[in-house]
Structure 1
């Protein structure tokens, strides 16, 4: 008997239908099932709603939705090393390898250990607030970058994004690499992505596509107002510091989740996360074949 966490897109009828079918099958096979309270209520099974979706009590997490549901699943279970199996009822579904028609057979194979698990690098973002009075004043631009106080820490599979808050204006971001100042960007934003995240927001901003099992961090500006507009592909253990030096604030987000507002002198330090995401995979397709299929690339 195994413990399975089912994480579904609660606003998609197809996801709820597939989740109901999966729950019925799992219980008929003697497995223990839990869900988030919202999803459990949506399928008429509030008794399955877990009070807290954290910890290492599950053997497998099944994500039924799109890539957004997958990212939420990894946010919940990656730190505990629990593998996530993605079932695609979304649109592109780059992270969700399996289809609803394969649902019970696929989960049975995963629980039996018959499917592979791909480990994916994650990023960690540590917010450092400017210390002292007068934060937000122009004088903060010359403050010692070490004069900060650590606050929140966020972890994501795809990317950390710092972007402007005010429409029609850019934000100025000073970037440090391993403690050395690299450049100051005037842009709509800046993305620090993992190889998995290279096919997400970074791709739309002109970043390179990186094989998901590669180890690296990619820094990509969004609509930069400067001559240097290239992405940087950096070693995975690089410490990337980004400090807001404009008077206008910036918004920080991790995997599409709004994290915090950043003011003048505040920093985000991005590093490789101390653990990896574990993605259940059939292992039947190479990266370039999956890429070709998901983006509809055709042979000549």
Structure 2
């Protein structure tokens, strides 16, 4: 008997229907099931609702939705080393490998250990406030930390203006960017926001951090592909504040003198995979690239 957590896009009818079908099958096989509170309510099984953060970690998490649902799933379980199986009922579904039609068969194979695991690096962001900014917390080294699978973004808050961001690499000053923002992405996140900002596509199992400026107002506008253990410090040096976000979720506001320190996360994401198509074939399919 295994414990399974289902994380679903509760606003998509197909995801709700697939989740209900999966719950019924798992229970018939003697497995323990938990869902998020919204998902549990959507399928009429509120008694299966799990608290967040999750108390007792499951053996497997099943994400039923799109890429956003996958990101939420890893936010819940990655730190505990729980593998996530992604079922695509979204649009592009770059992070999700499996389809709803084979849902129960796929989950059964995963629980039997018949599917592979792809390990991906994650990224961590810590905010250090300038000394004296908070009278109740004068120590700038007491800071909050967030972790993500795709990227950390520090971008302008005010439309029509840029922010000035000072970038340090392993303690050495690199450059000051005048831009709409900066993205620090993992290889998995290279096909997300970083791609739309002109960043390179990086194979997801590669280990690196990519720094990509968003609409830079300067001659140097290239992405930096850095070793995975690089410490990237980004300090706000303009009078305008900047908003930090991790995997699309707003984290906090940074004022002048505040610093965002981005590093490799201390744990990794585990994707359940069938081990079929290579990265370049998946890329070709997802982006509709044609043979000539």
The normalised TM-score by structure 2 is: 0.97
Q: 1:28 corresponds to which residue?
A: 28
C-alpha offsets along residues 50-76 of structure 1, whole Å, 9 cap, x if unaligned? 123424531000000000000000000
C-alpha offsets along residues 28-64 of structure 1, whole Å, 9 cap, x if unaligned? 0000000011110011000100123424531000000
Q: 1:237 corresponds to which residue?
A: 229
Q: 1:140 corresponds to which residue?
A: none
- 1:133 to 1:262, Cα distance in 2 relative to 1, 3 A: closer
**Residues 190, 200 of structure 2: 8 Å contact kept:** yes
Matched, 1:290 2:282: yes
C-alpha offsets along residues 75-121 of structure 1, whole Å, 9 cap, x if unaligned? 00000000000000000000000000010000000000000000000
Q: 1:186 corresponds to which residue?
A: 178
Gaps of 5+ in 1: 136-146
Q: For 1:57 and 1:238, how far apart are their aligned partners in 2?
A: 31
Q: 1:277 corresponds to which residue?
A: 269
Q: For 2:42 and 2:287, how far apart are their aligned partners in 1?
A: 32
C-alpha offsets along residues 139-192 of structure 1, whole Å, 9 cap, x if unaligned? xxxxxxxx8333110000000000000000000000000000000000000000
C-alpha offsets along residues 186-226 of structure 1, whole Å, 9 cap, x if unaligned? 00000000000000000000000000000000000000000
Over the residues paired in the alignment, what is the CA RMSD in angstroms? Answer: 1.3
Gaps of 5+ in 2: none
- 1:298 to 1:175, Cα distance in 2 relative to 1, 3 A: same
Q: 1:170 corresponds to which residue?
A: 162
Matched, 1:44 2:44: yes
Q: 1:126 corresponds to which residue?
A: 126
The normalised TM-score by structure 1 is: 0.94
Query: SS state of the match for residue 148, structure 1?
Result: coil
